[in-house]
Amino acid sequence: MAAEMSLQVPRVKLGSQGLEVSKLGFGCMGLTGVYNTPVSDEDGISILRDAFNKGITFFDTAVYTDPILMKFWWERHVSLPVVYQALKQLPREKIQLATKFGVFKMEFPHMIVKGTPEYVRSCCEASLKRLGVDYIDLYYQHRVDTSVPIEETMSELKKLVEEGKIKHIGLSEASPDTIRRAHAVHPITAVQMEWSLWTRDIEEEIIPLCRDLGIGIVPYSPLGRGFFAGKAIMESLPANSSLVGHPRFRAENLDKNRRIYSRLENLTKKYQCSPSQLALAWVLQQGDDVVPIPGTTKIKNLDENLGSLKVKLTEEELKEIAAAVPIEEVFKFQLFSLTSIPPDDQKIIGGDDDRVVSDDSDLFSISNQLKLVSIDEKDESRLVSIDEEESTTSNGSVAQDNANSLVSDEELARMLQAEEEALMLQQFAVSGQSEEFEQIIQPYISKVLMYEDPARQEAARKTVPVEELEEKALVSLAKEGNFKPSKIEKDHAFLLQLLFWSKESFRWVNAPPCDSCGNDTINQGMGVTIPSESQYGASRVELYHCNSCSRITRFPRYNDPLKLVETRRGRCGEWANCFTLYCRAFGYESRLILDFTDHLWTECFSQVLGRWMHLDPCDRVYDRPLLYEKGWDKKLNYVIAIAKDGVYDVTKRYTRKWLEVLSRRNIIRETDLSATLTNMTRDCRKSFTSLICSMLEDRDKNELEELEKGLHSKDDASISLPGRQSGDKEWRISRSEIGSNEDSSLSCSSCPVRLCVDVHVTSIYNAFFPVLSQFIENSLSNSRTVEILKIFKEILVELKNSSYEKRTISVNPFVLHLLPYFDQLLNALSLKSEIDTDEKVNICLAGDPVKTSLALPVVLDALDDVIVNLNNCSNLSKASLSLPLMRLNRIHSGSVLASGEELPFGISTSAFDGLRATKWEEPNGAKGCWIVYKLPDNQMHELVAYDLMSANDAPERDPMDWVLEGSDDGGSSWRILDKQISQAFENRFQRRSFKIKSGGFFCNAFRFRFLAVKDVQSNSRLQLGSIDLYSSNSSL
């Protein structure tokens, strides 16, 4: 129980090297204004003097040598000048002064540390001079320089001890191994680490090690950065506090904060003290070797801290207090600070049996093996215990340190600390005010409101080939095996087709062609807009001089999307402006995205994904938000989403380098930015109903959590993101947006297994057999056969160009007698012939119109191949009904896996879809790649032949050398079926057939290993138009 005692600060030995200090120290960081409003020199000196008079003699501060940091501290009336002046008024021999070295310079957002012997000495000399003292009682290495052996740093510190310039050596934020190695050179007196009821990760290893070595422990932030003093619960945070942006103190977390705080508060009645006193007493009574250093700027808080010395606790009471703030719950809050995954949604799994960690003892037992791994589809954060090499999770998958882990437990505190330091320093690096930020954003709010105009939306819809895009959307879903998509799936697919169409229909303008003669022009500067231009929001006009006729061409930069729907030309601003209108015109929740480093794009809310999706119409890329940072190599700062319902900071969606981005955000302080966006959003929603506002607030909250999760998620290294593709090369280079490789593309080197939806291809190929067989039986000549096939092709082309939902065509009477030849082929196309009421014969849909849409392009390409082969055939006979004319018994419906693929149009299944318009592209396949085809349902087939077809362009990418292998055990072992060297494709879309010479081997998987392409010197890619595999009639 708590016991009354006279207020007297005990003296204790800190460590085993003879340093005696007050049991309670004073951390001077609180005087900086980082956590609150900075104090004046007079007030700072006063509180230090009062602390000394009340028995505190141990003062902790730091010295920085970097000019940026020095300027920052001095401008803020920070601790060093205050300590310097206070020391002159206090007896030096009764003061134990601790200071630090090691932060060499600030390269925002990183503190660059230095531990070389020369730097150690120069810092010590500087500290002695700035503090006006002859010696330093305790000299810490503030951060360990991992590039310098700790032995070298300690050797110089040892010399400084021998010279009397420092009395004792300390370490701050050091690992156990570093502590051991340093202590072996010279005894360490104290280690300074964060320790409180909130932060307890040092209890497992650091604390026992220090006690074994006789090292004292100096906890900083013993009140959880003010949390246990009631910050953000009993009192609001100062607007200029760096804690405002910390997840622990965000407004949406108040209920969670109160849950922990109230438990401690409930115990205070029993111990007759305040929550802060109880939390500090818990730290104080962890041992005589523990000397916490809370800081404050107020006398009343100083007295509150001193009062914690009156609280006496037994071992059982210490456990009771710790139980009120369990390590497992605290750890989840630390994870929440890092990932924004609510504690209730986290699951920590560990131990040999992959049990769910449910109490402190379980967590202690696996704490040194924890890894934070990727978030699963249920949005649960999984912390998996990993052995030194690897272990297997409960679902049987191997969690590897270098593959699935996000960050180790050892890194959690450092990541949090790094972000807090960056936030702390960023608020003093800004150059502007909220007014400047608002002036940038406000015009875009007016612009997005244009998207809500019914007239503009109708004008936009009229320019879009809606039915064509609907058909393409449904076909894209069918190619994935989805023939019965839901409405939201259709909407999602249509949006992507709208993006692709926009790219094809909009024209990028580097320099416009001459209005008079159409020849090239060069920029001549800016002109004054005329009324017809300003009518559509053109605030500026570029002038271009024709190289041929010397006339001037005007290029007004229109801002009204109504005009852009008409002109459909421009650069990224016009493209994004127009495309966002298109999205709104078709009912998608859309936002215009403004990148302050000069780019714009669109976001739409995808009901399929359940989140906002990035869409860039300039480069035809979707859902790849890291495109700009990783591909274009942009140095992002602010990425702001503007919509009719608000303005949002979505920068974290587009970066994995948040601390670097934070260092470049110098227009407005983060706290002011948040307030400004809140006010702008509130203004946007002022006419909304309370129900809609409530729904939007819930979605905003979910998005904030999603942004935090994404920020700390592991990058998919298998995805290659390209540099900028839009704009001419010189322009892209001038903007430094070309990326690391100008020839790079959006591709994947770790492809998913994809299912081939291609039974229609096999059906079509087989259906040509009865057609040609009847021609042979009727003794038709080659020329007559080709003539009939061309007539049939014309019918199919007309059908293809008709409405996909109501495909029908009246057949000319003079070709009626030909239709019976094509019954099976029509059936393969889900078509039929029928007689209408007027006795006309029509060809129309016989089933799902999407199946017909899927099959028509295939049969048209197949007809072209048959016609080519017939023209090369001297005499059509039954002997002709084999390869290459007939492609019977084609294997279908397998699954495909490739070594790499181009996204989204060069994926592996494109090699098996029977289309000339598509192709499989392997971006790094010129010198070697592979593609595996596995048969469905454990089918076994004897392969007798295969076709390869060259793609539409770039003959240098054609395969030249390859090996085809078969497997009868699903790919565990392989047997060579065919090998080809120095093969050449003379034409585009050329099919080449190859027969398997050694038969009798039944396989359930096939693998092509492509060894080289036609030109491996100037090209890194392989591409193939198609692969077709043919089996014998028999199968197992």
Sheet containing 381-385: give its strands across: 355-356, 346-350, 381-385, 370-373, 405-408
Reported in sequence order, the residue ranges of 716-798 that DSSP labels E, i.e. its strands, are: 719-720, 747-748, 754-755
Alpha carbon separation from 413 to 21, 174, 256, 407, 902 (Å, rounded) = 28, 12, 20, 11, 39
Helix axis angle for 299-307 and 41-53, nearest 10°, is: 30
Question: By CB neighbour count within 10 A (0-12 exposed, 13-18 middle, 19+ buried), where does 567 fall?
Answer: middle
Amino acid occupying residue 90: L
Task: Kindly name the residue from 77, 142, 492, 599 that is annotated as catalytic.
Answer: 599
Provide the b/e sequence for 325-352 (b: ≥16 CB within 10 Å).
bbbbbbbbbbbbbbbbbbbeebebbbee
Residue 616 annotated among the catalytic residues of the structure: yes
Q: Which residues sit opposite 834 in a β-bridge?
A: 842
The DSSP bridge partners found for residue 191 are 171, 217
Q: Using alpha carbons, select from 861, 859, 862, 828 the residue that is nearest to residue 846.
A: 828
Task: Give the Cβ contact number of residue 367 at 10 Å.
Answer: 21
Which residues are 967's β-sheet partners?
1005
DSSP class of residue 633 equals: -
Residue 269 CB-density burial (10 A; 0-12 exposed, 13-18 middle, 19+ buried) = exposed
Tell me how far apart the alpha carbons of residues 477 and 491 are, in angstroms, rounded to a whole number.
Answer: 11
Give me the sign of the Cα torsion angle 429, 434, 436, 441. Answer: positive
The DSSP bridge partners found for residue 171 are 141, 191
Helix (H) or strand (E) holding 347: strand 346-350
> How many whole angstroms separate alpha carbon 882 and alpha carbon 53?
104
Report the C-alpha gap between 1029 and 290 in whole angstroms.
74
Q: Beta-carbon neighbour count of residue 783 at 10 Å?
A: 11
Q: Return the structure tokens found at 375.
A: 């978030």
Nearest to 567 by CA among 553, 581, 557, 582: 557
Q: What angle do CA 460, 463, 469 make, to 5 degrees?
A: 105
Report which of 85, 75, 8, 6 is spatially closest to residue 48, judged by C-alpha positions: 85
**Neighbour order of strands in the sheet with 929-934:** 754-755, 895-898, 929-934, 1005-1013, 959-967, 975-980
Q: At what angle do helices 176-185 and 206-213 cross, to 10 degrees?
A: 10
Asked if 621 contacts 607 with a C-beta cutoff of 8 angstroms, the reply is no
Q: Contact, 740 vs 633, CB < 8 A? A: yes
Q: Hey, what are 626's tokens?
A: 């890291």
345 vs 381: CA distance, rounded Å? 7
364/322 Cα distance (integer angstroms): 14
Give the CA radius of gyration of the chain: 36
Please report, as a single letter, which amino acid is at residue 924.
N
Antiparallel, parallel or unpaired: β 590-595 and 975-980: unpaired
Pairwise CA distance, residues 593 & 648, whole Å: 9
Task: Read off the tokens for 922.
Answer: 């392997």
- The active-site residue, picked from 123, 572, 684, 756, is 572
Distance CA 406, CA 427 (A): 28
Q: 578 catalytic, yes or no? A: no
Among the options 145, 409, 491, 616, which is catalytic?
616
Task: Please name which of 561, 604, 606 lies closest in space to residue 583, comparing C-alpha atoms.
Answer: 604
CB 513 within 8 A of CB 481: no
Q: Which residues carry out catalysis?
A: 572, 599, 616
